Amino acid sequence: MRVPVLTYHAVNIAGNDYNGNDHVAFASDLRLIDDMGLRIVPAGWLVDEMMGAAKRDLTNAVVLTCDDGSHFDYFDLDHPSHGRQRSLYNAMADFADERGADAQPNLHLTCFVIASPEAREHIDRGCLAGAGWMGEEWWKPALQSGRIGIENHSLDHNHTAIPLPGIAGMERGSFFPVDTRERADAEIADAARYIDAAIAPNRTTLFCYPFGQSNAYLREEYFPRHTETHRMRAAFGDGAAPVTMQSDRWNVPRYICGWHWHSPDELRAILREAA
Ligand SMILES: [Zn+2]
């Protein structure tokens, strides 16, 4: 098994070209993946395989994920500088309309969202337009569409846009200081509890490290030894490598759009190398 996991940030809108706009890149990449004869599958399938919980054929599979969870994931929105943006969700619908339901029958995007409404409000005001684009009202309909998974991207991202002290004295702006039980329970287990209540009867089982940053405590102790508390099955980072059976389930590697690739050609090279 060698499965590349691709990551987008729907709030990355610096213009309307592939390089600098994750909506443009995402729509283009769906077609590239399909043209290359690869199959998009849900992130959960990959984790099932890593855990030995299922045996599916993941040859030529690709997984799609998206971080931070804003309205740009689900709703078409007018960006203040760059105009109308087609949501990632609607980009998948456009793709399915264009190529037919048989083209990618398991088309799926896993959206990692931030749990705390207060944190999301601060991020909305500090990093977006302050237009209420970090709300959670889309989580349930997105899930019910069958094309989107809602998963755990921590309680507050320990984000610098939040003008409040970090959990248990943490300095803001990094996930590396989440190195105690108290901090990990707050950022991971409490976040899962909040999101699970919002999407019941569904629940989260996947985590994604804010800033892609993990540490030995989380990877080697908290995640593997306290599964009954956090109930996560895997944690995703960056790492820019295909996922294999040897990959660390508590730091699953991903490729990030705009960092690990900037053009269809660069993505094609990544996908070819993985296959
Ligand atoms: Zn993030």
Cβ proximity of 206 and 43 under 8 Å: yes
CA of 215 to the centre of ligand 1 (A): 16
CA of 151 to the centre of ligand 1 (A): 12
The pLDDT tens digits of the residues spanning 5-18 come to 999 999 999 999 99
Residue 29 has pLDDT above 90, yes or no: yes
Give, as one character, the DSSP assignment of residue 141: H
The pLDDT tens digits of the residues spanning 141-175 come to 999 999 999 999 999 999 999 999 999 999 999 99
Cα 105 from Cα 229, distance rounded (Å): 34
Alpha carbon of residue 83 to chain centroid: 24
Q: What are the start-end ranges of the E strands in the chain?
A: 5-8, 39-40, 61-68, 77-79, 83-85, 109-113, 148-152, 206-208, 234-239, 252-256
The pLDDT tens digits of the residues spanning 173-203 come to 999 999 999 999 999 999 999 999 999 999 9
If we measure between CA atoms, which residue out of 19, 128, 118, 18 comes closest to residue 73? 128
Residue 128 has pLDDT above 90, yes or no: yes
Cα 108 from Cα 197, distance rounded (Å): 22
CA of 157 to the centre of ligand 1 (A): 7
Residue 101 has pLDDT above 90, yes or no: no
If we measure between CA atoms, which residue out of 97, 98, 96, 115 comes closest to residue 106? 96
Give, as one character, the DSSP assignment of residue 226: -
- Helix locations, 200-249, DSSP H: 216, 223-225, 227-230
- Can you read off the two tokens belonging to residue 192? 């899962």
- Can you read off the two tokens belonging to residue 222? 């908290």
Give the chain's mean pLDDT: 97
pTM listed for this prediction? 0.98
The pLDDT tens digits of the residues spanning 32-70 come to 999 999 999 999 999 999 999 999 999 999 999 999 999
CA of 125 to the centre of ligand 1 (A): 16
pLDDT at 148: 98
pLDDT at 243: 98
Q: What is the mean pLDDT of residues 119-134?
A: 96
- Helix locations, 43-189, DSSP H: 43-51, 88-99, 117-127, 139-144, 181-184
Residue 94 has pLDDT above 90, yes or no: yes
pLDDT at 275: 79
CA of 212 to the centre of ligand 1 (A): 7
If we measure between CA atoms, which residue out of 82, 151, 157 comes closest to residue 110? 151
